Amino acid sequence: MMWLLTLLATMLGPALIVGDVYPGTGGQGGGVTIALDPPEKLAKAPADGPLPAVTRARGASPPLVVIDPGHGGRDPGATSPFGGTREKDITLALARAIRDDLARSGRVRVALTRDGDSYLDLHDRYAVARRLGADLFISIHADAAPSNDQARGATVYTLSEVASDREAALLAARENAAGLIGGARLSPDPNVNLILIDLAQRESMNVSADFARLLHREAAPVFPFRPDWHRFADFVVLKAPDIPSILFESGYLTNAVDSAYVQSEAGRRQIAEGMRRAIEAHFARRFLPDA
Ligand SMILES: [Zn+2]
């Protein structure tokens, strides 16, 4: 990966350590301040425990996408005012539809972070993806705007610049020399770790934004998006520094048409098709010889 080459150059100049002068991409300004949370707020990634099943695919080393059905268990997410369906059930049905469509096509491997009504901590969701060695992470949600029942359409979120720098500092503090980032062993020097993580995260953010644009291009003809369909936010599930990640809001449960659509067989099929087209196109650019 390109960033590894950049990394070698950067390691020779520790004065470049995170501090400021990163060009902002989201209109949030270039200056970055690293603020460390107290240790009790640092979530620890589970190092063991059962991993979800992974579907098979053709080829020698097919890429892996992890689909994360938002919410679950004691966390129901939003509730549709039209019939009372809970977001956690809608996201699971959508995620399964996406997985099944991808599995039928057989070009990429797929795993779900949950395949039942179970509760998962937000950090555990991307920790599962990291342990599986995922190449892409997609968290599925359904939106709610109680004060605007006209709001409609899908939105794609990627991590904001400021949020990622903060998380890079947290992760460096948390994992220190123990982890692996993008195949590079972390250094005993926490300053070098910060550079390593920061570079990996920057590369992931660029790929995430590329995938967001690809998803809109491939899926907008299939299902509706909001006019401002790409937004940046500080979502915990997007913070795996070494896995391109998006959060997909499939539609508004507070809008009668959207609510019915995301719960319908036709809606699930179309969302799964748009996702599959985007995911396969994404990996075709990078890995797939036969796509
Ligand atoms: Zn949600």
The domain ranges of the chain are 62-160+201-286
DSSP code of residue 267: H
- Looking at per-residue pLDDT, the higher value among 127 and 183 belongs to 127
7 torsion bin: left (phi>0), alpha (psi -120 to 50), beta (else): alpha
- CB within 8 Å of 24: residues ≥ 6 apart: 30, 161
199 pLDDT tier (thresholds 50, 70, 90) = confident
Report CA(291)–ligand 1 centroid distance (Å): 32
CA 91 / ligand 1 centre spacing (Å): 8
CATH 3.40.50.300, applies to 62-160+201-286? no
CA of 53 to the centre of ligand 1 (A): 23
Per-residue pLDDT tens for 244-291?
999 999 999 999 999 999 999 999 999 999 999 999 999 998 765 554
pLDDT at residue number 263: 97
Record the tokens describing residue 205, joined without a space. Answer: 């953010």
- Tally Cβ neighbours within 10 Å of residue 223: 22
Q: What is the pLDDT of residues 85-103, one digit of tens each?
A: 999 999 999 999 999 999 9
| Coil/strand/helix, residue 12 | coil
Going from the Cα of 87 to the center of ligand 1, the distance in angstroms, rounded, reads 7
What are the structure tokens assigned to 162, written together?
A: 């400021």
**Mean pLDDT on 156-176:** 73
Residues with C-beta atoms within 5 A of ion ligand 1: 70, 77, 141
pTM above 0.95, yes or no: no
Q: How far is the CA of 222 from the centre of ligand 1 (A)?
A: 22
Contact 91, 71 (CB under 8 A): yes
Among residues 262, 264, 233, the alpha carbon closest in space to that of 250 is found at 262
Question: What separation in Å is there between the alpha carbon of 8 and the centre of ligand 1?
Answer: 39
Least confident of 5-14, 16-25, 226-235, 261-270: 16-25
The confidence score (pLDDT) of residue 176 equals: 47
Residue type, 97: A
